[in-house]
């Protein structure tokens, strides 16, 4: 406990000691100055600066404050120099000066030969008001004095920087502004060349602030203006806010006085406040749907709270076949009348809505169309005339149903028939559905038709029906109709002087066409010679009851018209072999046997001795040039069967050629040849015998 008390007493003692007693550190102060300057330090003494250019004071206590002074002026070489300022570790223009020692220090006493003076004045060398002095300052070569209108500094010859306050405010709306220097320079910061004592004056002018304010836009003309100057101010009007909002200047006020216009002037004899007045306007934007339907639509501005009257056409024709029909307002206006009033309490866009309608032009066309007909258009019955137009307006993209009658009867055998739609719609159905997406001209094309009736007592006649004028009607019928066995009807022709069973006729009027028939019976012919052998001729010729000639090459079931006919010829190998004319009375199926003049001819070939010549070639040439060749047998006999009556040329060839003309009706032909091989053989033997006899005789004679 006693130890704690001792410690506390020692702490109190230490605290009570002065810094000088606590610390005994000492420092030096070196002062530089021109030779001859006297330096004095309070409580220490004085010293004069010698040739070394400085004096030093030792033993100065740490933390002690000393008053240091230097000679206010000195004369060097007859020239007086004046104390100007302290520098180095201390910067100050005070002389004497208080210095607190904390360490070894060095200071310099600076002297100048010339006095550089700076003054702040109003224009006209008038003094500035004292209420701006606290804002004033003068800075010479870095030495700044505040709250003064005048200051000086001793300097040597050279160039120095001077700075002064640019503005001195009397109040926020009145001030002095440096205008120029007494030597004609401008600006609050400048340099000056010194070669002798010099005084510079900074002249200030009085200015007032013109406050031009506006809740909208950017006004011009506001700011500081010289006293007595006439200043113009203005603002651009209108000023646009957000979309569809603008503000229009209606005038301005200066104090409590109102003026019209968006510009004016004021003489600056005091501070002024100009305040621009405005009114709010909203845009009314009118658009059409579809866009561009209404020409010349303009957006207009209306004062806030005013009533805008709007009006649009109820119907607008884009062209004779397209129009727009008003259906109502939308957007910021909901109404159905094309004329409405709108309260302008904000920017508004209203839309005039229109529906597009297209003209559907329906007409009846055709070279020979009906004078009029009943149309059904979307369930509505309408009468349309030939050459006239029925126009119906239809909403765009709607479907229009149109129906016309398929046929229009004029008489039982004459009518008009719908052919097709032409124009904006192509189709053959009499009822159509048309999507209307543009103006359409639709024509119902009709054609005049005539009834063609094809009739026949037998068979099935084809081709009856209705035909457009000038078109071809194809009519036909089977040309042969079997009625009973061996009995048939054969197509003879049509009542329109056409004989072919299939034909085409041009229809230009109603027609009744009848098929004409001829009754025929089956006739079988059998041809026989006088030996009752069957003959097959090449063809026969029959003179029909109408004196026409009928040539037939098929005889088994020949069809002949009912009536009396005559069998004129039965031709075989170009020769009529009919024995006698045959009259045919045809009234039922029958069989006819016809006798023909056909003969068998035997040819005998012999030599002059009456010996038969075998292997002799025998040819017969018919009248028509037909040639038949055979070879004689061993007996020299050749037979030609079934030769038609008539003359033939016979050629026999055997070592020589022999020609004979004969009639088949002779039935036998003898041919005598001069030479034959048997005859030649006999002659040869005889000749040989004679030669041998002669030879033998001659030899006998020679031996004799």
* Model pLDDT for residues 582-600, shown as the tens digit of each residue: 888 988 899 889 888 888 8
If you write DSSP's letter for every residue of 452-471 in order, what string do you get?
Answer: EEEE-SSS--B--EEEETT-
Cis peptide bond upstream of 238, omega within 30:
yes
Q: Are 60 and 27 in contact (CB under 8 A)?
A: yes
Quick one: pLDDT at residue 8?
53
Quick one: pLDDT at residue 17?
44
Quick one: pLDDT at residue 584?
87
Question: pLDDT-derived band of residue 374, with 50, 70 and 90 as boundaries?
Answer: confident
Quick one: pLDDT at residue 381?
80
* Percent of the chain's residues with pLDDT above 90: 54
- Mean pLDDT value across residues 207-213: 96
Quick one: pLDDT at residue 689?
83
In degrees rounded to 5, what are phi and psi of residue 6?
-65, -45
Please say if the pLDDT value at position 44 is more than 50.
yes
Closest CA to 306 of 348, 338, 352: 348
Quick one: pLDDT at residue 533?
87
Highest mean pLDDT among 84-98, 405-419, 441-455, 574-588: 84-98
| Class of residue 333 by CB neighbours under 10 A (exposed 0-12, middle 13-18, buried 19+) | buried
- Mean pLDDT value across residues 439-466: 90
Quick one: pLDDT at residue 1?
47
Distance CA 275, CA 233 (A): 11
Quick one: pLDDT at residue 609?
81
- Residue 544 C-beta-side C-alpha neighbours within 13 Å: 13
Quick one: pLDDT at residue 400?
85
Question: pLDDT-derived band of residue 677, with 50, 70 and 90 as boundaries?
Answer: low
Across the chain, what does the average pLDDT equal?
Answer: 88
Quick one: pLDDT at residue 679?
62
């Amino acid at each position: 406990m006693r130890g704690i008390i001792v410690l506390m007493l020692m702490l109190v003692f230490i605290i009570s000691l002065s810094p000088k007693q606590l610390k005994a550190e000492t420092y030096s102060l070196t002062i530089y100055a021109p030779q001859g300057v006297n330096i004095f330090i309070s409580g220490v003494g004085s010293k004069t600066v010698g040739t070394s250019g400085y004096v030093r004071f030792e033993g100065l206590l740490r933390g002690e404050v000393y008053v240091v002074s230097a000679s206010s002026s000195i004369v060097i070489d007859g020239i007086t120099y004046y104390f100007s300022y302290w520098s180095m570790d201390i910067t100050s223009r005070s002389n004497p000066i208080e210095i607190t020692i904390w360490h070894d220090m060095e200071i310099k006493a600076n002297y100048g030969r010339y006095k550089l003076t700076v003054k702040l004045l109003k224009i006209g060398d008038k003094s500035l008001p004292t209420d701006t002095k606290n804002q004033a300052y003068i800075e010479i070569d870095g030495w700044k004095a505040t709250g003064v209108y005048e200051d000086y500094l001793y300097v040597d010859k050279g160039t120095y920087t001077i700075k002064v306050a640019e503005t001195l405010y009397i109040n926020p709306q009145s001030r002095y502004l440096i205008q120029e220097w007494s030597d004609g320079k401008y600006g609050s910061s400048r340099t000056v060349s010194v070669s002798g004592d010099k005084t510079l004056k900074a002249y200030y002018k009085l200015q007032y602030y013109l406050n031009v304010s506006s809740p909208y836009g950017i006004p011009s003309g506001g700011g500081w203006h010289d006293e007595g100057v006439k200043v113009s101010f203005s603002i651009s009007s209108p000023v646009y806010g957000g979309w569809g909002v603008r503000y229009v200047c209606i005038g301005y006020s200066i104090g409590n006085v109102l003026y019209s216009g968006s510009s004016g002037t004021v003489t600056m004899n005091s501070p002024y406040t100009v305040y621009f007045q405005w009114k709010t306007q909203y845009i009314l934007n009118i658009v059409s749907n579809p866009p561009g339907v209404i020409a010349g639509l303009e957006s207009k501005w209306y004062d806030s709270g005013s009533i805008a009257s709007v009006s649009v056409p109820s119907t607008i024709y884009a062209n004779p076949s397209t129009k727009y029909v008003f259906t109502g307002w939308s957007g910021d206006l909901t109404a159905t009348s094309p004329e409405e009033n709108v309260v302008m309490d904000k920017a508004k866009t209203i839309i005039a809505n229109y529906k597009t309608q297209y003209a559907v032009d329906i007409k009846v066309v055709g070279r020979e169309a009906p004078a009029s007909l009943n149309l059904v258009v979307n369930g509505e019955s309408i009468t349309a005339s030939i050459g006239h137009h029925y126009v119906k307006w239809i909403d765009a993209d709607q479907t229009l149903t149109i129906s016309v009658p398929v046929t229009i009867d004029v008489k039982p055998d004459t009518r008009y028939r719908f052919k097709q739609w032409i124009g904006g719609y192509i189709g053959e159905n009499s009822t159509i559905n048309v999507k209307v997406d543009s103006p359409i001209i639709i024509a119902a094309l009709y054609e005049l038709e005539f009834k063609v009736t094809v009739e026949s007592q037998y068979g099935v006649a084809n081709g009856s029906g209705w035909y457009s004028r000038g078109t071809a009607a194809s009519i036909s019928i089977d040309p042969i109709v079997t009625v009973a066995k061996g009995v048939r009807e054969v197509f003879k022709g049509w009542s329109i002087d056409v004989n072919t069973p299939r034909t085409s006729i041009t229809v230009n009027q109603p027609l009744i066409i009848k098929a004409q028939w001829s009754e025929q019976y089956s006739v079988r012919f059998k041809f026989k010679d006088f030996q009752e052998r069957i003959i097959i001729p090449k063809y026969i010729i029959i003179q029909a009851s109408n004196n026409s000639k009928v040539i037939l090459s098929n005889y088994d079931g020949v069809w002949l018209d009912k009536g009396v006919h005559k069998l004129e010829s039965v031709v075989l190998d170009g020769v009529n072999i009919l024995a006698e004319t045959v009259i045919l009375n045809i009234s039922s199926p029958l069989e006819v046997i016809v006798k023909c003049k056909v003969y068998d001819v035997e040819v005998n070939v012999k030599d002059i001795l009456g010996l038969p010549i075998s292997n002799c070639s025998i040819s017969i040439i018919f009248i028509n040039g037909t040639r038949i060749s055979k070879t004689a047998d061993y007996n020299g006999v050749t037979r030609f069967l079934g030769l038609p009556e008539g003359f033939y040329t016979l050629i026999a060839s055997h070592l020589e050629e022999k020609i004979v003309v004969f009639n088949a009706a002779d039935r036998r032909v003898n041919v005598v040849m001069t030479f034959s091989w048997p005859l030649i053989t006999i002659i040869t033997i005889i000749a040989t015998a004679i030669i041998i006899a002669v030879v033998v005789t001659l030899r006998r004679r020679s031996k004799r």
